[in-house]
Amino acid sequence: MGGVWLRGGSDGRSRFQGGAGDRETRLGSAGKAGCYPAQPSPSTFPSGEASMERLLAQLCGSSAAWPLPLWEGDTTGHCFTQLVLSALPHALLAVLSACYLGTPRSPDYILPCSPGWRLRLAASFLLSVFPLLDLLPVALPPGAGPGPIGLEVLAGCVAAVAWISHSLALWVLAHSPHGHSRGPLALALVALLPAPALVLTVLWHCQRGTLLPPLLPGPMARLCLLILQLAALLAYALGWAAPGGPREPWAQEPLLPEDQEPEVAEDGESWLSRFSYAWLAPLLARGACGELRQPQDICRLPHRLQPTYLARVFQAHWQEGARLWRALYGAFGRCYLALGLLKLVGTMLGFSGPLLLSLLVGFLEEGQEPLSHGLLYALGLAGGAVLGAVLQNQYGYEVYKVTLQARGAVLNILYCKALQLGPSRPPTGEALNLLGTDSERLLNFAGSFHEAWGLPLQLAITLYLLYQQVGVAFVGGLILALLLVPVNKVIATRIMASNQEMLQHKDARVKLVTELLSGIRVIKFCGWEQALGARVEACRARELGRLRVIKYLDAACVYLWAALPVVISIVIFITYVLMGHQLTATKVFTALALVRMLILPLNNFPWVINGLLEAKVSLDRIQLFLDLPNHNPQAYYSPDCGRLGAQIKWLLCSDPPAEPSTVLELHGALFSWDPVGTSLETFISHLEVKKGMLVGIVGKVGCGKSSLLAAIAGELHRLRGHVAVRGLSKGFGLATQEPWIQFATIRDNILFGKTFDAQLYKEVLEACALNDDLSILPAGDQTEVGEKGVTLSGGQRARIALARAVYQEKELYLLDDPLAAVDADVANHLLHRCILGMLSYTTRLLCTHRTEYLERADAVLLMEAGRLIRAGPPSEILPLVQAVPKAWAENGQESDSATAQSVQNPEKTKEGLEEEQSTSGRLLQEESKKEGAVALHVYQAYWKAVGQGLALAILFSLLLMQATRNAADWWLSHWISQLKAENSSQEAQPSTSPASMGLFSPQLLLFSPGNLYIPVFPLPKAAPNGSSDIRFYLTVYATIAGVNSLCTLLRAVLFAAGTLQAAATLHRRLLHRVLMAPVTFFNATPTGRILNRFSSDVACADDSLPFILNILLANAAGLLGLLAVLGSGLPWLLLLLPPLSIMYYHVQRHYRASSRELRRLGSLTLSPLYSHLADTLAGLSVLRATGATYRFEEENLRLLELNQRCQFATSATMQWLDIRLQLMGAAVVSAIAGIALVQHQQGLANPGLVGLSLSYALSLTGLLSGLVSSFTQTEAMLVSVERLEEYTCDLPQEPQGQPLQLGTGWLTQGGVEFQDVVLAYRPGLPNALDGVTFCVQPGEKLGIVGRTGSGKSSLLLVLFRLLEPSSGRVLLDGVDTSQLELAQLRSQLAIIPQEPFLFSGTVRENLDPQGLHKDRALWQALKQCHLSEVVWMVSWVRGAGAYLLGRGSCCVWPGLSSQMPRSCVSMRPQQVWTRRQTSCSSRPSANALPTRQC
């Protein structure tokens, strides 16, 4: 058979040489046209240049002139088959298989492998053995061909190593979560790539007569092994196509069992797995199967991204008062700066493509260089593309990891700061903005900083290369670009100033929405939805006003830099021609390519600067928050001894108090709510409380009772004096006047993180009179209560808060009127069983207005105007306080049941609680999350929000902009083609036909930077242009460019206007829908979940979505223009689009399945962070008093870890997509370059065509990559619109009724009649009201009594139509309330809520939110409620409208807060008043006020 190989090689060689001779003849007859490059003789090469040819010829057994023949006879060359079709696929298989060797094994995977996996494993093992066996006939003499022994050994060893690696990878995958499926598709497809080489080799044997006599053992053995390899490959394919086995259980069993933790991301993976992101395969598989339903399904964070690790690293560089940026730099800055080197190398590699492309085209065109140079150029082009893609991808991935590290540190330090805040605290809405918006803007610095120096560097290199092409003519364009820098500076300054103002308006809006949601029940009772909604809309309008300025300035900035390349081109060409130079195709299109390379740095630089400026603004805001004074117990509970000597200071500043029997001591202590003492001060000259004492605190409303307890707890500013508390480290037992309840079960609220003690728990429930309440709740103490306890009555909330304090077993208890919200029987029970019972061994300070309960106190303190005026035994102090009128006490007291009802009644509670009775009392439902692709109606909703007319105008202007841009390129092509036509007689290439000089010929459409140094076609100096022709062509080109500039401006302005319109529409619809939602929705929905929509999702719709959507539209238009040019100039190149599109489609589809769910889970896990921070700020005093701050910090780290999981997985999957898209583009470029070399060897290469193909392949893959990336990011951003639309379309709404023409004063008498009213909170629940019938005549006063759950407050809910009755009617003056509009009904009713709520703003705004009354009426109402003196008492009063209130009336004493709603009620001349039992903080027994008013 060896002789056959020699004869075959000889025959092939003679024919090959004959073909070469024909080519030489054609070259001679055609003249030196350059159509086919002349092949240099090996003897003419220097020895160094011919080394690769000789090595390749020695390996293949061929001549140095043709070392790698493509064809040998009637089949492909065997050396080409073994090296290109066999060794390369096997090498790729080995590398790809190695990436899966680190796949984590499933610990619970005990099922045997399916038949398909076993068949693939067996085939892989055989395929690793067969190449080694195939070497035996080759090595034994006389050899079995068909190639030299070195080539056969190389190909066989590569194949054996590849299949061994693949066998190991298959074994690992079969015992991993992939074992439930067929495994990675890419791995199976690559495993089948060597099949063509085997088939071609079998064909070679058949053509060479291996099966004909005489049969030689060597060739026959090799042929049999080839057939066996093909059979094994076929078996492998069958094993993948038909896996067999128990497929149904696989389909039902999830990829991640519920009791199994997901894999750890990245840690322990090989470098190949890290570069290819193969470790993401389990996550992407779960996403493709739709099993990414909760954050726990996402892979766990690497060690260096764990929040606990980040907190430890950051705290090592953080100290109070430090600059945040310094601490971030110390913790993560060095690693981040080191990534700049990666950025630099990646930027340099970006220029390797154009330079190597130029050299490769020059090699093909000249034909004088050895083949080794061409191979080096092609390999350099492919290697540079691959290496550049990997480096850029890793840079982006590592930068985002540093960003996540900084994010984890910033969010954690923000929460820790919130736990340490002193009395001066920002509103909750502002803190939430810092957590959501400002932290994200601050972290944009990480992506912008390296771009800030990388883009100018790229710009400088591009300008230098431009100088090499057109000389000093580029200076004109450069001057124009530099003139725009100060303009850009002015725009950037305006943007930063507007951004600061916008954030302030955003803070005000979110703050107002937070307050609105907190007081939503009072708002609905009073019918203030429209008034307060208009106030939110006013804040939103101011915010949109600033956003409008920002968007239009951004549009101007983008327009200037987007239109700049076209203008620069005009200036450069005009200058070049006026300098006396001749325009040529090489000069024009190379200069155009370089000018287009300026688009990225010039277009992105404004965004980079804008990102840096936004980061600076947010950094200042966060720094301002971090610089707020801390709560410092060590300094607070130390005497003011700054002026004392060292000896006395040591004595007094040691462990207070001095006497062991003293628990609390205050001496000369002055406190205030603000650090400078401008608010009402509390002064205690001397107070000493012994261990075990019960101390009562009494006084008028606003006298400072609650302030005294807050001062003891450390919640006020100590201006001077001495505060000493024994056992400070053990904390206090604190029961505030406004109970703070978590959104959790009743048991969790009482335990509050302490270990469950059944006996103690039972005693606490009995002492706090909670057993009866728990017995009627759906799940007992496992019943979940609403946020802030809204599903409980006021008495229940107060007693649960008291039970929580008692269960903590502290030595000092601060009780702020816990008896106010309960009736006399329950109050008596709490006094004897709890305060005098379980707490008898502790020290207690009790504020109360019920002086009859202080008779057994050890001491009583009398407060007045913030001063302790008397202290002594009850017998001395209590007579000073006016006694309760007997008649009032016996007959007039508003009795309440053991659980006094609030505005939100137990029946309402029952509705909220029993609604989830099937889930063991669970009220809080998991936030709903859409699955699958973003629905079409979401796109339609955003389209409608923009406006159909405006949206169509945006698309038309975009297409017009792209069309004029392509028209400008076409005109330049036409200009140069006409120039070439005029000089065609003088050109050195007479073989070029006129047909090839069409408007879209390859030579004219070479817009690539591939001609940076070597022209594609050497053109001689043409005749000078005629001045009239130059003027004509330049005029037309400038006109087209001007039209393009106008279209660009029009598109930028229209897009800004459209996105602003969408932002306004989405927020307006969301606000309206939320305001119209029933109260039941707010009971079961945490405020943080709603605020997430109003904050993060609205911010995304305002800014992030328009930004990425703009990029998507630009990429789509650019791709359409590119395809139009390619289809006209080189239609054959479009044949590559179908397979390329299929590959891109499958990759992006696999990515999008996970990307959507990760984005949704990211938004889902952000809401608990918001809720947790808001909850913490609301209950901060309780957290500190009970020492629970550490536990809440741990909970914050847990919630942060879940959110960081989603953020990290989202970024990693994005990089997974990016590296695959980039490598696909590099593969296409490499394939075109390889084909070009093969054609060059055969004398068929057209350098212009090859250059055009390569340049446009680079552009096409880049555009497709950008299109897929921007589309997936747009889809991810549209999740925010989806979440807004979920509330806008799916929220239940209150039935509004129909407006009746009754006039404004239709309720003139005030008669109320219930007719057989039946109320069930939902079908299947027992009736809360069952056939209630009664009639109240006008002017009558009706009292309603009954036990908990009897239906007292249900009557009010039906009367105000907060709940609709199942049957029956309610008549007001004979009018059926169900026929009225809600606003029409509620505007004629008034209610005094049990829990007062005040909005931030002026007293006027709180008294009259709708602005219907004059100052005289407001002052009259204040006088009736005895508030006018208090308002005047504040030092900064300048009228009723000037007294500012803080969030939740933090600047107003609790007693005044309860009186303020009475003032509001007194402003309304309603005929029907309803009143729930209000807090006893304003009872006359303590403040001696008459009881007649209000």
pLDDT range class, residue 655, cuts 50, 70, 90:
low
pLDDT at position 956 is: 92
Distances (CA, A) of 318 to 310, 321, 325: 12, 9, 10
Taking the alpha carbons at both ends of the chain, their separation in whole angstroms is 117
Alpha-carbon distance 1180 to 675, whole Å?
19
Report H helices in 579-632. Answer: 585-597, 599-626
- For the ranges 226-230, 441-445, 516-520, 1060-1064, the maximum mean pLDDT occurs at 1060-1064
Which tops the pLDDT comparison, 263 or 623?
623
**Of 207-221, 457-471, 741-755, minimum mean pLDDT range:** 207-221
Mean pLDDT of 1343-1361: 77
pLDDT range class, residue 535, cuts 50, 70, 90:
confident
pLDDT at position 52 is: 61
Mention every residue, 6+ apart, whose C-beta is less than 8 A from residue 645: none
Mean pLDDT of 928-943: 74
Question: Do 1250 and 367 contact (CB within 8 A), yes or no?
Answer: no
pLDDT at position 74 is: 66
* pLDDT tens-digit series, residues 1039-1060: 888 888 888 889 889 999 999 9
738 has a pLDDT exceeding 90: no
For residue 1332, the SS3 value is: strand
* pLDDT tens-digit series, residues 873-925: 888 888 887 544 433 333 333 333 333 333 333 344 444 344 344 334 444 55
- For the ranges 107-116, 1338-1347, 1451-1460, the maximum mean pLDDT occurs at 1338-1347
Question: Do 1188 and 957 contact (CB within 8 A), yes or no?
Answer: no
pLDDT range class, residue 1239, cuts 50, 70, 90:
low
* pLDDT tens-digit series, residues 543-584: 999 999 998 988 887 787 777 777 777 788 778 877 877 766
Mean pLDDT of 1412-1436: 73
1267-1298 per-residue burial string, b: 16 or more CB within 10 A, e: under 16? bbbbbbbbbbbbbbbbbbbbbbeeeeebeebe
pLDDT range class, residue 1453, cuts 50, 70, 90:
very low
Which tops the pLDDT comparison, 1231 or 1257?
1231
**Of 389-403, 1278-1292, 1473-1487, minimum mean pLDDT range:** 1473-1487
pLDDT at position 1481 is: 40
pLDDT at position 1244 is: 59
Mean pLDDT of 1344-1361: 76
Strand boundaries in 700-770, DSSP class E: 717-725, 733-735
34 has a pLDDT exceeding 50: no
Burial grade of 642 (CB within 10 A; 0-12, 13-18, 19 or more) = exposed
Main-chain dihedrals φ then ψ at residue 387, nearest 5 degrees? -65, -40
Mention every residue, 6+ apart, whose C-beta is less than 8 A from residue 247: none
pLDDT at position 319 is: 80
pLDDT range class, residue 806, cuts 50, 70, 90:
very high
Which residues pair with residue 671 across a beta bridge? 682, 718
Mean pLDDT of 994-1007: 33
Please tell me the pTM assigned to this model. Answer: 0.66
**Helix or strand (DSSP H, E) at 1391:** strand 1389-1392
Neighbours of 809 (CB within 10 A): 15
Which tops the pLDDT comparison, 1257 or 1209?
1209
952 has a pLDDT exceeding 90: yes
pLDDT at position 997 is: 35
420 has a pLDDT exceeding 50: yes
Alpha-carbon distance 166 to 189, whole Å?
12
**Of 574-583, 626-635, 753-762, 1185-1194, minimum mean pLDDT range:** 574-583
Give the per-residue SS3 of 1212-1266.
HHHHHHHHHHHHHHHHHHHHHHHHHHHHHHHCCCCHHHHHHHHHHHHHHHHHHHH
158 has a pLDDT exceeding 80: yes
Alpha-carbon distance 278 to 274, whole Å?
7
Alpha-carbon distance 1486 to 1479, whole Å?
13
* pLDDT tens-digit series, residues 331-387: 888 888 888 888 888 888 877 777 777 677 777 766 667 777 777 888 888 888 888
Question: Do 515 and 1399 contact (CB within 8 A), yes or no?
Answer: yes
426-457 per-residue burial string, b: 16 or more CB within 10 A, e: under 16? bbbbbbbbbbbbbbbbbbbbbbbbbbeebbee
Alpha-carbon distance 342 to 346, whole Å?
6
Neighbours of 395 (CB within 10 A): 21
Beta strand pairing status for 1375-1376 and 1367-1372?
Answer: antiparallel
Alpha-carbon distance 247 to 1198, whole Å?
37
pLDDT at position 1001 is: 33
* pLDDT above 70: percentage of residues in the chain: 73
Q: What angle do CA 455, 436, 500 make, to 5 degrees?
A: 65
Radius of gyration of the chain (CA): 41
Mean pLDDT of 1284-1306: 74
1326 has a pLDDT exceeding 90: no
For residue 543, the SS3 value is: helix
pLDDT range class, residue 7, cuts 50, 70, 90:
very low
1030 has a pLDDT exceeding 80: no
175 has a pLDDT exceeding 90: no
Alpha-carbon distance 198 to 226, whole Å?
7
* pLDDT tens-digit series, residues 836-873: 888 888 999 999 888 888 888 899 998 888 888 888 88
Alpha-carbon distance 441 to 156, whole Å?
56
231 has a pLDDT exceeding 70: yes
pLDDT at position 953 is: 92
Question: Do 1236 and 1245 contact (CB within 8 A), yes or no?
Answer: yes
**Of 172-181, 439-448, 450-459, 1102-1111, minimum mean pLDDT range:** 172-181
Mean pLDDT of 980-990: 46
Which residues pair with residue 1444 across a beta bridge? 1402
1213 has a pLDDT exceeding 80: yes
Alpha-carbon distance 1027 to 382, whole Å?
45
pLDDT at position 1054 is: 92
Maximum distance among all alpha carbons in the chain? 132
Question: Do 566 and 598 contact (CB within 8 A), yes or no?
Answer: no
Q: In what order do the strands lie in the sheet with 717-725?
A: 717-725, 662-672, 682-690, 867-872, 859-864, 694-699, 843-847, 812-816, 733-735
What's the sign of the alpha-carbon dihedral 1293, 903, 738, 809? negative
Alpha-carbon distance 949 to 947, whole Å?
6
DSSP string, 1403-1428: HHHHH-TT--S-HHHHHHHHHHTT-H
Q: In what order do the strands lie in the sheet with 1329-1336?
A: 1329-1336, 1312-1319, 1367-1372, 1375-1376
318 has a pLDDT exceeding 70: yes
Mean pLDDT of 1179-1184: 87
346's tokens: 């990646």
Alpha-carbon distance 1228 to 1221, whole Å?
11
Which residues pair with residue 870 across a beta bridge? 862
Distances (CA, A) of 88 to 51, 82, 186, 192: 22, 9, 16, 13
* pLDDT tens-digit series, residues 37-68: 334 444 444 444 456 667 767 777 666 666 66
Across the chain, mean pLDDT equals 74
How many Cα atoms within 13 Å fall on the side-chain side of residue 766?
Answer: 9
Closest CA to 1252 of 1128, 1123, 1126, 1141: 1126
How many Cα atoms within 13 Å fall on the side-chain side of residue 1077?
Answer: 23
Closest CA to 1458 of 1438, 1437, 1433, 1486: 1486
